[in-house]
Chains A and B, each alone.
Chain A
Amino acid sequence: MRWLGRLLFLALVWADVRASEGAEVFLGVTRSEVFRIPLGILYVVTPPDQAKYSSEIRTVLEGDLRRSQVFRVIHPPLVPELAGGETPSAELIKKAGRQDLQAAVWISFAQKGEELMLEGRVYDGKTGQMVMGKRYMGQAQHLRTVIHRFSDDIVFQYTGERGVAETRVVFSSSLTGSKELYLMDYDGYNVRKITGDRSLNLSPKWSPDGNWITYTSYRGGTPAIYTLDMATGRLSKTVGLPGLNISPAWSPSGGELAFASSRDGPTQIYRVDREGKALRRLTLDQSDNLSPTWSPTGAEIAFTSNRGGSPQIYMMNAAGTNVRRLTFSGDYNTSPSWSPKGVSIAYTCRVDGRLRICAISPDGATLARLTDGPGEDESPAWSPDGKHLIFSSTRLSRGDLFMMNADGTEMERLTFSGAKNNSPAWSP
């Protein structure tokens, strides 16, 4: 940031300020927003009796593409020739593309009985050439999934990285009176219950391959860590040391599980292998240490510790050595979550007595408070592409999940059940 110093220096030279009492200067800089590709859905072709699907397809796809942060969705005027239902020619696309469209989307959809077919094509708005085209087939009840798949393919086509529209979020909810785990699509739709033991089921986390959900459950009477195999529905007990077994977190390779246990008195961080064996204690201090989160390389772990007198975020390498403190601002910083891109650690910070979501760079140099407003926010979790955060908040209710961009903008509410919904985790 030496630039700012030099800027001021030059500004003062240029301003040629004369000696006087209380001199003031006015300066400024302007930054341009990151460019987003203008994209428009030109037409959705459906059989005449299935026209109702057209608006759902548009809404879902536009939402997915907007959230990807890659596209700016625009609504060009309808090109009447497209209403015929035939696949558009390059000339027609170029005509539509005159509305400054860079990506033009054309969709043909039909449902036959229990099956659907969605053909999605993306054209370059300037040349009219088709950039990608795919025909998706699936069950009728999976229409949203098909649209999400198309959106992720479009994002991949333009950036080389898949979008996250097909991903899911697991969370804990008090809807039934106890705390059960629920799954939902990344956009809040299709909420479905995945535990049903009427105990406390907390802190769910995904395995890196998305096949398991590991969580703390009181189903056996005391808090132990269980793993649910999503393919088979089989539940197994992974760790059951005396005392607390909480805040599980899989290493990025899926080979190790870090968690916190109070078997030795104060809560400490341990690791085990995926069979629950080879137990190793990582933290040695007589304070409380919990909520481990792995760096994307698996080399380091950030965690909460009150060894300094108040709960703060610390870092150590994955063997437990080289412990250093990361947060120095505020008296309550907990629940870290390391971005899959490695560049940022989101956590819950207490600001003016209220919990907020903050983010800090792993070197501690850059710190930002991301949320504000009524109520309190906690428990941030990253999307697998590192572009979004999901967290729980009491800003509008007893506790609901919200999604926002990594910079705190475009906040969107995801749950509306009226229960306390918290502890979200985003699938890979």
Chain B
Amino acid sequence: MDINGKYFKSYLEREDAFKKQYNADRIKKQHAKGKLTAHERIALLFDSGTFEEIDAYVTPSDQGVEFGKIEMSYGDGVVTGHGMIDGRLVFAYAQDFTIMGGSLGIVHARKIAKIQEMALKMGAPIIGINDSGGARIQEGIASLNGYGIIFNNIIQSSGIIPQISVIMGPAAGGAVYGPALTDWVFMTSHTSYMFVTGPNVVREVLNEDISSEDLGGAETHARKSGVANMIYDDEENTIIALRKFLSYLPSNNLENPPVAAYDNSTPDVNEKLRDIVPDDPNKAYDVRDIISLIVDRNSFFETSELFAPNIVTGFGRLEGKTIGIVANQPKVLAGVLDIDSSTKGARFIRFCDVFNIPILTLEDVPGFLPGKDQEHSGIIRHGAKLLFAYSEATVPRITIILRKAYGGAYIVMNSRSMGGDFNFAWPSAEIAVMGPDGAVAILYRRELADAKDPVAMKKELVKRYREKVANPFIADEKGYIDEVIDPAMTRRKVLSAFTALSNKSVKVPSRKHGNMPL
């Protein structure tokens, strides 16, 4: 083709107009808010030079043009395409706030839907970067229809490809349910908000004054609601963390997670593990210190760190292979299971199960949290989610009982009877129906009431209970756990157990789906 001919010339003219559209003014406006532009975010996310934009030249639907306020721009306020992240194919869309506030019109929605369908067909993860004012009012029902298509696509792809939402601006009204349906939500502090109804409506309806930040900022959703799984101080770090996060995940449910290079730098036998759990059962410790000594050095990526911190969830690597970790955290609320920690754990386990990630459980749990507050809010049905999730999971499952394993909470935390493949215990483990104090008070109630020195008698009984009932050796001898192990040997044991389980296959009965308590 003659590059000076008229066909090529109009091609170049159009390209020029496209470049002009993203001029310095728009970029400056976005930067002034502390935000990056859609194209800058995409550039950070993908390996350099690998992103291919699709539908860059589409123009908005002419619906609602008579009403005005439609800007005839290229791309309709969203950048979509595919590229490579660490050499693996990933699809993405990034809403562009500089064009009609990133509002969602039907063309915008169709672009997203197209990318979603491609991602599903190719079996590659999809990332949605949200920065949008919401539905495009001028387009009316067409815009709502657009949301419906997007939501439906997310649900149809759920459990087949990893779907990750990144919130880097407002997401209000119906728009929040897109991210809510995806597997993971990343948010950037101070510049992103999510709420079903904004502060203005809250003020009108409830006479309650609340800022956007307090109502639906990153911190709020990470700590209180649990909607945001990971939050970071700025957009660069959010995206760098997201890239790292993806390295733990397979591209789809038929693949195994990628295996990272392992440099042999983590000792398989580590005596430091013997010193972390205090002998005094009333003393707390940070279970993350144990996790970091079991997994490959610096490989632990904690998820939902701020929400329900009494249970720790996250990904780590064992000789380069991804595992999911669920651990009670004695440092926070004694590591008790409550509503939030149960749902956090259950959702994490289900993600691991669907994407072929083996699960390691570290158990030190005093029980379920008692009290009116929890009972009335439904700890029974929420706690049941954790039971359901564990028992349903067909990926390799290993439990290590570090210390307390009492009552219902013992059963829940991946016990053998719930289908756990290997259950190990440290010598410090206490496995029983209830803690020594409670047990003695029930069984010896009368004797204690009649005793001359009830305190001394109780102390003696507690000691005997620990010796005769609540210790791991009895469970070992009766075959309820597989082995009592030296803490120093934990990594070696876990490695060989997961190797033994690497070809685990389970026949799942044919059914539409189980009926998990929701």
The answer to whether A and B interact is no
